[in-house]
Amino acid sequence: MKGTTRENSLLAAVLCGTAMAGTAAAGDSQQCAGYTNAAAVQAALTQAVSTVSAFGAGLGNNMWATVVDAHGVVCLVVNSAGTPGSVETIWLGSRVISAQKANAANAFSLSTGSLGTAIALSTANLYTAVQPGGSLFGLQASNPVDPLAAYQGPTAAWGAGTQDPMVGQLVGGVNVFGGGLAIYNKKGQRIGAIGVSGDTSCTDHAVAWETRHALILDFVPGGVAPGGDDNIIYDITPQVGQMPGISTGGFGHPHCLNATAENAVLAALPPTRKVK
């Protein structure tokens, strides 16, 4: 099935060659090639922040977004504040968290045609499984962030697209709350991931979802959410003797600040696209 003219033109616009000879995979000519350009990601991120904030579900903060390639190499880092190095209007710690989320979503999602199950796992889907007694307990301690890759300077370039110091690095990290999503092309191939951070984890997920959709990189081949995708699942209910509550399906994520508004955001999120 062919995409619409608008989809094809948008896809061509946001997928551009940004090949970089980064330290993580020297000599790999395909590293970060064919990835969303920084201007397109920043525009999509900024619009997504505005769209989600209108529901009043989060804090209305500016956000960071990091894109990694299929090997986890950082390709670009932007923020909705629009100013590289900005520290006054955005949570500084969320820059590395966005990279950590992108790495985790990329590391634990598979593609159509893989030998395993073609399934995408968002970082939001990991929350319950990593709790004590969960099937993935301890996962969050694996693949730690490399501080030498994550915290190098110059700080004035933090968020400067392909000039951010994390670009070309394998930052690593596993994050287990909302904001990280694998990105898929129209064939259902995982080509990397996007991580968003800067607000509540529920808002981070919604902003990442809207951003991925705007970039037409959401041809998700399967997932654990009710819609068969990697959306956030609010199915944690309080149980006697279990303070945090229990997820009915085993992949749930807790509400953050305003359950009513967060449910409204979830209902308004666009569906993922069908693999072609």
Q: What is the pLDDT of residue 82?
A: 81
Q: Domain for residue 112, yes or no? A: yes
Band (pLDDT 50/70/90 cuts) for residue 242 is low
Position with higher pLDDT, 15 vs 2: 15
CA angle 131, 90, 24 (to 5 degrees): 65
Q: Domain for residue 274, yes or no? A: no
CATH number at residue 220: 3.30.450.150
CB atoms within 10 A of CB 151: 15
Q: Domain for residue 262, yes or no? A: yes
Residue 1 has pLDDT above 80, yes or no: no
CA distance 160 to 78: 6
Per residue in 115-151, pLDDT (tens digit) is 888 999 999 999 999 998 889 999 999 999 999 999 9
Band (pLDDT 50/70/90 cuts) for residue 36 is low
Q: Domain for residue 61, yes or no? A: yes
Task: Give the chain's domain count.
Answer: 1
Residue 20 has pLDDT above 50, yes or no: no
Q: What is the pLDDT of residue 87?
A: 73
- Domain ranges, residue 213: 5-20+28-268
Give the C-alpha distances (Å, rounded to integers) separating 146 from 29, 96, 269: 23, 10, 33
Residue 13 has pLDDT above 60, yes or no: no
Mean pLDDT estimate for the chain: 87
CB atoms within 10 A of CB 133: 8
Q: Domain for residue 54, yes or no? A: yes
Q: What is the pLDDT of residue 237?
A: 82
Residue 253 has pLDDT above 80, yes or no: yes
| Helix or strand (DSSP H, E) at 105 | helix 94-107
Which residues are 64's β-sheet partners?
Answer: 79, 197
Q: Considering the chain, what percentage of its residues have pLDDT values greater than 70?
A: 85
